[in-house]
Amino acid sequence: MVENWKKFLMPYEQAVSELKIKLRGMRKQYQQNNEHAPIEFVTGRVKPIDSIKEKMQRRYITEDLLEQDMQDIAGLRIMCQFVEDIHEIVGLLHQRTDMKIVEERDYVSNVKPSGYRSYHIVIEYPVQLISGEKLILAEIQIRTMSMNFWATIEHSLNYKYQGEFPETLKARLKRAAEASFMLDKEMSEIREEIQEAQQLFSYGKWQNALEKATENDSEGETPD
């Protein structure tokens, strides 16, 4: 077993920190251009040691193959407003030269039997250490906020039932997944109106801030 977990996980922690900054930077670039940002927000984590050990045992992963066979020790999640945003983000990631995509799993088009939807990308990412460059694997999950809500609930229930859901609960989860996706489809139908309203709202906030700043400057002026 790994003798020093803190040392082993350090490159993964660095990768998650760097990737969060880079992905959030993509969102800022869209905002600065006054364009709809396909990225709503980004989260990331390094898998807890107990979870790594449990998965090693469940998947029969040996220590010497841990870095190769466990692709989600470093995990990031990109949340979107619309299903169309998912495919735009996938395209953006393919264009990047600071990471290499090694695997893709499209659970948006190929829904899991449980109803789970998400787009998973496994990347090879170079981390710069004082000892030199180290290539590590990281998993990026891209999903709408609606998909994420369903997946979070399903994940919590999975802990309770250890994957053995009662048939009635399984059926209700499946119906909830379909209802969630119907919401995404409806939002896609009125996407242009939503984006226009959001831009107007953002512009209005900017105008109010500018007017307030101007008023404060005027109040601070002293008459001749």
DSSP letters spanning 90-147: HHHHHH-SSSEEEEEEETTTS--TT----EEEEEEEEEEETTEEEEEEEEEEEEEHHH
Angle at 161 (CA atoms; ends 157, 165), nearest 5 degrees: 85
Q: Is 139 a catalytic residue?
A: yes
The single residue of 124, 139, 186, 221 carrying the catalytic annotation is 139
Separation CA 193–CA 181 (nearest Å): 19
Q: Which tokens belong to 196?
A: 């226009």
Q: Which tokens belong to 145?
A: 């906020």
**Which are the catalytic amino acids?**
139
